[in-house]
Amino acid sequence: MNMIRWLTAGESHGPALVATIEGLPAGISVTSEDIQNQLARRRLGAGRGARQKFEKDEIEILGGIRHGLSIGAPIALKINNSEWPKWQDVMSAGPIDQKILDEQARNAPLTKPRPGHADLVGMQKYGFDEARPVLERASARETAARVALGAIAKKLLNQVANIEIISHVVQLGTVKSPDGIIPSPGSLTSIDEDPARCFDKKTSELMQQEVDAAHKDGDTLGGVVEVVVYGLPPGLGSYVHHDRRIDAKLAGAL
């Protein structure tokens, strides 16, 4: 049985994202500042989308934490959407007069599904005649809620088992970091300070040039992120059955 369960809800241009996580033991130190710091990290990096420049993610803890400590109950979080006033008619949960909606350009039907997105299959699956209801949920905006929950999970891992998790970019476009360059414990701050979040400074400069060239060409770049975990105790998962393998669980989480 899984110890931790989590859920998120909310749309990209809705009033807020909400998230819950349950299974944390009592006594884990978690504050709004801890979560806010992780949300700020989500906005880092060169070449970020325009939305990152005006989104202001303010976390509100609704339950499950008292005086900075978890109490063993489900933890509920809320992240308000600063753009909500512009969308409160288009994305209203309640009925809105059609005349009001017809006057708003934002309410124009989105009938051209975007390549590589969930638009087309979402419209087919749920019977929508436009993509708005699909893309509002199948949006990178939802990752803000996941980051908030991940901040709590990181606090749990660190306090219970002294586990440290570090991520860094090892490839961006055609530029790759040399093999064998792995961040050491405590290096996360210096990685976050790098525009490309690359541990190797020379490679980072080349990555930034690659980003600038793609931006000039109106193109995008793929990349590879490596996650390093220090302090992980041996024996997690099992080779006994396929559904207990730790690599399968990690792959499923992605």
Q: Residue 6 pairs with which residues in a beta bridge?
A: 21
Residue type, 80: N
pTM flag (> 0.95): no
- Check residue 44 and give its pLDDT: 85
Strand partners, 80: 16
Question: Are 29 and 121 members of one domain?
Answer: no
Q: 3-class DSSP state for residue 160? A: helix
**pLDDT tens-place string over residues 114-155:** 999 999 999 999 999 999 999 999 999 999 999 999 999 999
Residues 223 and 170 in one domain: yes
Same domain for 38 and 149? yes
Identify whether residues 33 and 150 lie together within a single domain: yes
What does the pLDDT look like over 27-58, one tens digit per residue?
999 999 999 999 999 988 765 555 555 567 89
For helices 32-41 and 143-161, the axis angle rounded to 10 degrees is 120
Together in a domain, 12 and 82: yes
| Per-residue pLDDT at 191 exceeds 90 | yes
Which range marks the domain in which residue 207 is found? Answer: 164-254
- The domain total for the chain is 3
Residues 105 and 196: their CA atoms lie apart, in Å, by: 36
Per the listing, tokens 């586990």 go with: 163
**In a shared domain, residues 219 and 179:** yes
Cα distances from 69 to residues 25, 29, 32, 138, 177, in angstroms, run: 10, 5, 11, 33, 40
Mean pLDDT of the chain: 93
- What the block records as the tokens of 136 is 């509002």
Does residue 175 sit in the same domain as residue 218? yes
In this structure, are 157 and 122 located in the same domain? no
Average pLDDT over residues 211-229: 95
Nearest 5°: the CA angle 7, 134, 144 is: 40
Q: Do 111 and 153 reside in the same domain of the chain?
A: no
CA distances from 168 to 130, 143, 247 (A): 38, 18, 20
Instruction: Give strand pairing partners of 172.
Output: 175, 223
CATH of the domain at 17: 3.60.150.10
> What percent of the chain has pLDDT above 90?
87
Give yes or no: residues 218 and 106 share one domain: no
Looking at residue 45, its pLDDT comes to 76
Residue 1 is predicted with a pLDDT of 42
In which band, very low, low, confident or very high, does the pLDDT at 88 lie, cut at 50, 70 and 90? Answer: very high
As to burial, measured by CB atoms within 10 angstroms (0-12 exposed, 13-18 middle, 19+ buried), residue 30 is buried
29 DSSP 8-state letter: B
173 lies in the same domain as 206: yes
Helix (H) or strand (E) holding 34: helix 32-41
- Residue 153 region by backbone torsions, left for phi larger than 0, else alpha for psi between -120 and 50, else beta: alpha
In this structure, are 6 and 70 located in the same domain?
yes
pLDDT at site 51 = 55
